[in-house]
Amino acid sequence: MQLSATPYEERLTAPRSWWFISFLVGVSFALILLPFGTLPMLGGLVGGTAAAAVMASSYGSPRIRVVGDSLIAGEAKIPVSALGPSEILDPEEARAWRTYKADVRAFLLLRSYIPRALRVEVTDPEDPTPYLYLSTREPEALAAAIEAAKSSTKA
């Protein structure tokens, strides 16, 4: 397997504020369990914080990678030869493609806390997916990596 000229990897991690909210969930559990004593209260604090942190971490775990001749976005693995042109979406245009411009057949790797995105057309005639919508903090770098991978597979 040949590596792309411009490798790319990004994890769509949850924002820092979500970790503070996880702590507040733990405090809420502690307050609920306060009438039952100190140990249940501490258990609620630790257990509630841990459960909320696991949820925040799992929601922010998807990765977008360009490896060799493939784009891996979350659970999807697509050869770059099946991809067409890319469109970098600013926050306003990204919101439009998440809502009224969206196609139900499209593959969406969507994270609401990431305002920008990349829309990549799928040109494979046997694939019913019209495009990929990928939330990304660096759409320019992702588009460049996809183009570099396309050109290295043609060579």
Query: In the prediction, which pLDDT does 105 show?
Result: 94
pLDDT tens per residue across span 3-23:
545 588 999 999 999 999 999
Closest to 88 in 3D by CA, of 41, 150, 22, 133: 133
Contacts within 8 Å (CB) and 24+ apart, 23-26: 23/49, 23/52, 25/49, 25/51, 25/52, 26/50, 26/52
3-state secondary structure 20-71: HHHHHHHHHHHHHHHHHCHHHHHHHHHHHHHHHHHHHHHHCCCEEEEECCEE
Residue, of 68 and 6, whose pLDDT is higher = 68
- DSSP code at position 82: G
Task: Identify the CA nearest to 4 among candidates 99, 62, 89, 68.
Answer: 68
Average pLDDT, the chain: 91
Q: Where are the domains of the chain?
A: 11-59, 69-154
Position 155 scores a pLDDT of: 59
Mean pLDDT across the stretch 64-68? 91
Distance of alpha carbon 142 from its chain centroid, rounded?
A: 13
CA dist 15 → 59, 71, 118, 121, 132 (Å): 11, 24, 20, 28, 23
Is the pLDDT reported for residue 84 higher than 60?
A: yes
Give me the pLDDT at residue 152, please. Answer: 79
Amino acid 79: pLDDT: 93
